[in-house]
Amino acid sequence: MSYKRYHELLQFFILILVLFGLPQSTTALLPEPPLTKPYHFQIHQSAASIGQKNWDSVQTNNLSPFTSFNYLHLLESTGCASPSTGWTPIHVTVSTQSTPSPPPLAIVPCYTKSHSFGEFIFDQPWAEAAHDNNINYYPKILAAIPFTPVSSPKVLIHPNVTSHSEQSNIRNSVADYLTTLATNNNLSSVHVNFLSSSEIKSFPSPYHHRTSLQHHFTNISPTGSKFHNFSHYLTSLKSKRRLSLNRERRKISPQIRIDTLTGKEIQSVPGIHDVIYKLYESTVEKSGKGRLYFTSSFFEKLIASEFCNNVVLIIARSTSSTDENESIKASDIIAGTFNVVSNNIFYGRYWGSFTSQKYLHFEVCYYSAIEYCIEHQLDKVEPGAGGGEYKFLRGFEPVRIHSAHYIRNEGLNKAVGEFVEEERRSINEVMGVEHEHEKS
């Protein structure tokens, strides 16, 4: 099935949702969740109120840099994820004590949302269907990392909890607690986005398991070992694709130099945080449909923090010099990507450009990212949401992404359930077509 046909099918189910004839007032109350252990839940209005020590204690086994205290606290303290932007923190701690500040067994990064922007699991059609049938869809509960389409554990469990059954009990209890929290506070729904594979079974019915698509590059050669270099990677591609890729790279002007900066190299370039923000801003403005989720202050403080040790910038700059050691000036940067590397994964996050140079986007977002991944023997590149067809044609393979959704209104819940089932079948078909295309 082509991408065009896939999106046509999604639009068809949007229409089905709107025309479903949903019941207007079915909001059956849920009983208090039966807990296998006496867990206690507390809600916190910021990461800071939980404290870095407590947060770090559960983050030890959770390898995503985006669920770290430093990252989430920075989002909140710089006004990116805050009530004024429609992200009200309601982080949940799980413990076995009912004292005011017990040590947490688990933490769930969580928010109430007054819109669906910045989530990258798109439920706007459901909100439209609810609106057309006089059903309130906002506010809702979202367990996720703001503006971050990265799969990782959303129930951060303390490393001392080593029993798999205990871990399952905690996750199951969190799933039950969130539905009760929604009911008791008249919130429309619960959404747990970008679940890790170990968490999917912990959110069974009444949650709907939704499957989405991303495209990732995996650093594994046909022989099972990692690629030696970019040329080695090229030999794994079909001739037509290999020729196309080389042609696109050669089209970049010789007056444009591609550089990769990390950690202290980034911090040594005066004013670079402002350029990063302006590149990010340029993409949002050009799209005409996005929102500026991040503030200039966010990038300034992130670059100045220890988190910068995980940051990789791939930049394009205009220069006539042939000196490899020429110092980099922020004013020379004309395009670039902001990326994060952790646990052998290269996360592509934001792209921007001040020029219309053809193929520059593919170079700094895809080819240089793959090159960096191979050179540093990383496991994979996750370039984020969107652009599936472009990514597939440039070496990125389809990967299933998982989320869980509970809708309180019985009629809308049923319609959403049918939607995600058909969507899953369509995605399975799309993945099959892409794999066949790769063979041809």
Order of strands across the sheet that contains 91-95? 40-44, 91-95, 106-108, 156-157
> Mean of the per-residue pLDDT values for the chain?
88
In this structure, are 112 and 14 located in the same domain? yes
If you average pLDDT over residues 205-232, what whole number do you get?
Answer: 95
**230 pLDDT more than 80:** yes
**144 pLDDT more than 60:** yes
The CA distance from 185 to 390, in Å, is 43
Residue 383 lies in a domain: no
Contact 111, 146 (CB under 8 A): yes
Residue 390 lies in a domain: no
> What's the pTM value of the predicted model, to 2 decimals?
0.89
Domain end position, chosen among 345, 378, 411: 378
In this structure, are 336 and 435 located in the same domain? no
In this structure, are 154 and 248 located in the same domain? no
In this structure, are 364 and 415 located in the same domain? no
Residue 391 lies in a domain: no
Which pLDDT score, from 0 to 100, does residue 24 have? 42
Which pLDDT score, from 0 to 100, does residue 6 have? 42
**393 pLDDT more than 80:** yes
Domain end position, chosen among 329, 348, 378: 378
Of residues 320 and 282, the one with the higher pLDDT is 282
The CA distance from 110 to 78, in Å, is 18
In this structure, are 265 and 118 located in the same domain? no
Which pLDDT score, from 0 to 100, does residue 30 have? 37
Which pLDDT score, from 0 to 100, does residue 429 have? 85
The range of the structural domain enclosing residue 167 comes to: 3-213+399-439
In this structure, are 198 and 335 located in the same domain? no
Domain end position, chosen among 325, 347, 378: 378
Q: List pLDDT tens digits, range 332-361.
A: 999 999 999 999 999 999 999 999 889 999
Strand partners of residue 314 = 260, 337
Which pLDDT score, from 0 to 100, does residue 10 have? 46
Report DSSP state, residue 200.
G
The CA distance from 43 to 22, in Å, is 33
Which pLDDT score, from 0 to 100, does residue 394 have? 86
**32 pLDDT more than 70:** no
In this structure, are 257 and 200 located in the same domain? no
Instruction: Spell out the residues 6+ positions from residue 73 whose beta carbon is closer than 8 angstroms to its own.
Output: 46, 47, 48, 52
The CA distance from 310 to 378, in Å, is 13
In this structure, are 13 and 100 located in the same domain? yes
Of residues 326 and 216, the one with the higher pLDDT is 216
Of residues 436 and 69, the one with the higher pLDDT is 69
In this structure, are 166 and 195 located in the same domain? yes
Residue 386 lies in a domain: no
85 pLDDT band, cuts 50/70/90, is very high
Q: From start to end of 196-310, where are the E strands?
A: 208-218, 256-262
Give the three-class secondary structure for 171. Answer: helix
The percent of residues in the chain predicted with pLDDT above 90, rounded, is 75
In this structure, are 197 and 313 located in the same domain? no
Residue 393 lies in a domain: no
In this structure, are 59 and 205 located in the same domain? yes
Of residues 26 and 99, the one with the higher pLDDT is 99
b/e sequence 72-97, b meaning 16+ C-beta within 10 Å: bbbbbbbebbbeebbbbbbbbbbbee
Instruction: Tell whether the torsion through CA atoms of 236, 238, 239 and 243 is positive or negative.
Output: negative
CATH number at residue 209: 3.40.630.30
Residue 102 lies in a domain: yes
Q: Which of 157-171, 247-261, 384-398 has the lowest mean pLDDT?
A: 384-398
Instruction: Spell out the residues 6+ positions from residue 288 whose beta carbon is closer than 8 angstroms to its own.
Output: none
- In the block, tokens 């008791």 appear at 184
Residue 141 lies in a domain: yes
Instruction: Tell whether the torsion through CA atoms of 428, 432, 437 and 439 is positive or negative.
Output: positive
Q: At what angle do helices 272-287 and 296-304 cross, to 10 degrees?
A: 140
**60 pLDDT more than 80:** no
The percent of residues in the chain predicted with pLDDT above 70, rounded, is 88
Q: List pLDDT tens digits, range 367-392.
A: 999 999 999 999 999 998 887 788 88
What is the number of domains present in the chain? 2
**330 pLDDT more than 90:** yes
Residue 82 lies in a domain: yes
In this structure, are 181 and 245 located in the same domain? no
Q: List pLDDT tens digits, range 287-315.
A: 776 789 999 999 999 999 999 999 999 99
Give the three-class secondary structure for 421. Answer: helix
Residue 189 buriedness (CB in 10 A; 0-12 / 13-18 / 19+): buried
Instruction: Spell out the residues 6+ positions from residue 86 whose beta carbon is closer than 8 angstroms to its own.
Output: 113, 114, 115, 117
Pairing of strands 345-353, 380-382: parallel
Q: Cis bond leading into 139, ω under 30°?
A: yes
Q: How many CB atoms lie within 10 A of CB 187?
A: 20
Which pLDDT score, from 0 to 100, does residue 19 have? 52
